[in-house]
Amino acid sequence: MKSPSLSVRLLGTLLLFPSLTVMAQAQGDTPPKALVQANAEFVCFFMSEVGGQPKPKDCEKDAAAELTQVYPSLPAEQRQQLADIQDHWPKFQKEWQALDEIQKAALRAQWAAMLQEQQQGLGGSGQPPPEQ
């Protein structure tokens, strides 16, 4: 793998997205269109790869709308993380294309494990609640 640190950095930022959806919307600030587009592509790519499913038809449109909605309420640190994705996303796409299927499968498994850990940290176990 050419740049595992790049994929880990990008994935770390992906882990930020679930927290974005619970933030209250503030008025004002509109994110740059290029930032929204890069992040929407990024989210849809990773969710498709980890889920092993083709991305939904309107995935990027929906992700862009959600990000545009929550962006005004984000602190500077999270805005910087989104800017980092915008900066690194093109390089990551090229590196991804250069990987063989075994390397891609290993990264998918790593990403899935990280997402599962994050969900468990947010109170989700990935398991349905026990029946009563």
For the segment 41-70, what is each residue's pLDDT rounded down to a tens digit?
A: 999 999 899 989 999 999 999 999 999 999
Name the residue with higher pLDDT: 130 or 32: 32
Token reading at 81: 């993380």
Q: Is residue 16 pLDDT above 50, yes or no?
A: yes
CA 95 to chain centre: 17
Terminal Cα distance for the chain, rounded:
47
Q: Give the pLDDT confidence score for residue 14 in this predicted structure.
A: 57
pLDDT one-digit tens code per residue, 80-129? 999 999 999 999 999 999 999 999 999 999 988 988 888 787 665 444 44
pTM of this prediction? 0.72
